[in-house]
Chain A
């Protein structure tokens, strides 16, 4: 097991996934400290630029998580997020950012256990994948 500690930037929607993180906390469920959570009101407000910036700054992975389709607090934000992630997954891998480093999940407010499991799993996968090249390259 390598001693590399990945840094995973996570954009969680306020109404679903962030609430699930709260629930995981109050239920005393553990998940790795490698996840840096940024609360946004909706997964649909995650501008692709935030994701690109995270990768350029050396994030080993980026996770965007929101409500399940049909359950978005703002009706259709998560559908827009899905198209944006699809777009980024067409662009970023071309330049060496492994597609496995960008993830989109739907985690509902009551899914505290699923959240903890997802974050644990993701951390292990990214640990195995190794550090992002942006950490060791000069980014112009």
Chain B
């Protein structure tokens, strides 16, 4: 049922083509507004912007490697109740997957949202983006996109975020419309694929010429995913041995100051009120003194490990590996590899993948009569077995 359309690229201007496509969503596609990263007027910084005026789309830039925050949260705000109008949201694959997870938690609604996924070329961290784009100049986005798509080194010492280096989801499989860039001849055209019925309905209104997906695309994507998986496995192995006992985990997280920025930045950290900000953790002064007396020395603030272990328990089954936790950490703690590593195990244990299927229930929201028998009971006496 996949329907594919072609948008011609004129003057080799990829960004202008994408902007033009987004404009037709407003004029012909019957969308009320477009959510897309845009250059702010006061500073060349990109932020998700909701636009209803086609002229404003000239500031849109979905190609730049800027990823200041995960827009799934924004999409959730715009759709949490009906009445927000029909919105076309341009999102990275990880943002779409995170939004799918939020829909499952009833924090967003997909009905009036058309998700437009663009092949993700990777992004850098906030602190690196400003410096890089200043060095790379006016056509930074175009130059960057062309280099990545041609398999070349991006200009001006571009440093991708850790999360992007190990991400095996460069395409938006759960989007309504998917803009294909990898393996497509982008000097000539970009291809738009309708993945869902909703996407197909929108595409039909645009009246674009039909096209076929070139075989080069599948091959390019396969190579890219294999490369990313290899890097991912290497990073996982490093991380695994960096945290495999309590002292090592403490060392990994020793710089944490309990700012909870990672929690705010995380698109799927779903609690409306985080327990760590309630009076459960507003310990009595006498309690601090008792702990210090009992333990000899008490590192302050307390509950640092507890906080991260709790976050792992609460959201690792929904983690989409977007990297915003690492991005947000003021002390550069490599949180993404840690969270992705645990997420891989917890999601696999429940045969679940975050963001894969909007109809799939989160693992802790359901249960079966008979399952996981292996966790019940004392089990075989392993220490006695070892002594034999």
User: Which residues of A are at the interface with B, using a C-beta cutoff of 8 A?
Assistant: 48-49, 52-53, 56, 69-70, 76, 79-80, 82-91, 94-97, 100, 103-106, 118, 121-122, 125, 128-129, 133-134, 137-140
Q: Does B317 contact A (CB under 8 A)?
A: yes
> Can you identify 29 A-B contacts, CB atoms within 8 angstroms?
A49-B275, A49-B310, A49-B313, A52-B306, A52-B309, A56-B309, A76-B367, A83-B350, A83-B372, A86-B349, A86-B350, A91-B312, A94-B244, A94-B341, A95-B244, A95-B246, A95-B309, A96-B244, A100-B379, A104-B377, A105-B378, A121-B381, A133-B245, A133-B247, A134-B246, A137-B247, A140-B250, A140-B256, A140-B305
The 7 closest A-B pairs by CB, nearest first: A96-B245, A79-B367, A128-B383, A48-B313, A86-B372, A140-B299, A140-B304
Interface membership of chain B positions 284-313, coded 1 if the CB is closer than 8 angstroms to chain A and 0 otherwise: 000000000001010100001110011011
A56 touching B376, Cβ below 8 Å: no
B interface bracket (residues with beta carbon within 8 Å of A)? 35 or more
Known: A84-B364, A137-B247. A56 touches B305 (CB 8 A): yes
- Is the pair B313, A52 in contact by a Cβ cutoff of 8 Å? yes
Residues from chain B with a CB closer than 8 A to the CB of A48 are 310, 313-314
Contact at B246–A82, with CB atoms within 8 Å? Answer: no
Task: Determine which of A53, A70, A138 lies in contact with B299 in the assembled complex, contact meaning CB atoms within 8 Å.
Answer: A138
Contacts of A52 in B (CB 8 A): 306, 309-310, 313
Pick the contact of B376 from A82, A87, A100, A128 — CB < 8 Å? A82
Contact with A along B131-144 (1 / 0, CB 8 A): 00000000000000
Closest Cβ neighbor of A68 among chain B residues: B376
| SS of B interface (majority) | helix
Q: How far is the CA of A121 from the CA of B295 in the complex (A)?
A: 30
CA distance A96 to B310 in the complex (A): 16
Contact among B341, B371, B381 for A125, CB-based, below 8 A: B381
Do A91 and B245 touch across chains, with their CB atoms under 8 A apart?
no
B309 lies within 8 A of A80 (CB): no
Say how far A54's CB is from chain B's closest CB, in angstroms.
11
The CA-CA distance from A79 to B346 in the complex, in Å, is: 17
Query: B369 to A69, Cβ gap below 8 A?
Result: yes
Partner of A137, one of B246, B306, B314, B379: B246
Whether the Cβ atoms of A89 and B375 lie closer than 8 Å is yes
Set of chain A residues within 8 Å of B306, measured between Cβ atoms: 49, 52-53, 56
Complex alpha-carbon distance, A83 and B367, angstroms: 7
- B346 CB contacts on chain A under 8 angstroms: 87, 90-91
Measured in the bound complex, the distance between the Cα atoms of B304 and A88 in whole Å is 18
Which residue of chain A has the shortest Cβ distance to B376 in the bound complex? A104
With a CB–CB cut-off of 8 A, which chain B residues contact A105? 376-378
List A contacts of B243 (CB < 8 A): 94-95
Which of A70, A96, A121, A128 interacts with B246 by CB under 8 Å? A96
Taking a contact as CB atoms under 8 Å apart, the answer to whether A140 and B367 are in contact is no
For B245, list chain A residues within 8 Å (CB).
95-96, 133
Tell me which residues from 309 to 359 in chain B have a Cβ below 8 Å from any Cβ of chain A. Answer: 309-310, 312-314, 316-317, 341-342, 345-346, 349-350
A53 nearest in chain B by CB position: B306
Q: How far is the CB of A96 from chain B (nearest CB, A)?
A: 3
Please state if B246 and A133 are interface contacts (CB–CB under 8 Å): yes
- The answer, yes or no, to whether B363 is at the interface (CB within 8 Å) is yes
Most buried by A among B248, B306, B364, B376: B376
Closest chain A residue, CB of each to CB of B302: A140
Bound CA span A89–B342, Å: 11
Complex interface: chain B residues within 8 A of A70 (CB): 369
In the complex, which residue of chain B has the Cβ closest to the Cβ of A76?
B367
Contact A91 B309 (CB under 8 A): yes
CB distance from A66 to the nearest CB of B (A): 10
CB <8 Å contact, A94 and B345: yes
Chain A residues with Cβ below 8 Å from B295 are: 138
- Which residue of A has the minimal Cβ distance to B348? A90
A137-B250 contact given A49-B310, A90-B349, CB 8 Å threshold: yes
Determine if B264 is an interface residue (Cβ-Cβ < 8 Å): no
CA gap between A90 and B96 in the complex, in Å? 26
Q: How far is the CA of A5 from the CA of B243 in the complex (A)?
A: 28
Q: Is the CB of A87 within 8 A of B310?
A: no
* Interface residue B130 (Cβ < 8 Å from any Cβ of A): no
1/0 per residue, CB under 8 A from A, across B364-388: the answer is 1001111110011111011100000
> In the complex, which residue of chain B has the Cβ closest to the Cβ of A130?
B383
Say yes or no: B313 contacts A87, CB within 8 Å: yes
Is there contact, CB below 8 Å, between A91 and B313? Answer: yes
- Are B378 and A122 closer than 8 Å at their CB atoms? yes
B254: Cβ under 8 A from any A Cβ:
yes
Which residues of chain B are near A80, meaning CB under 8 Å? 364, 367
Residue of A nearest to B298 (CB): A138
In Å, the complex CA distance between A88 and B346 comes to 9
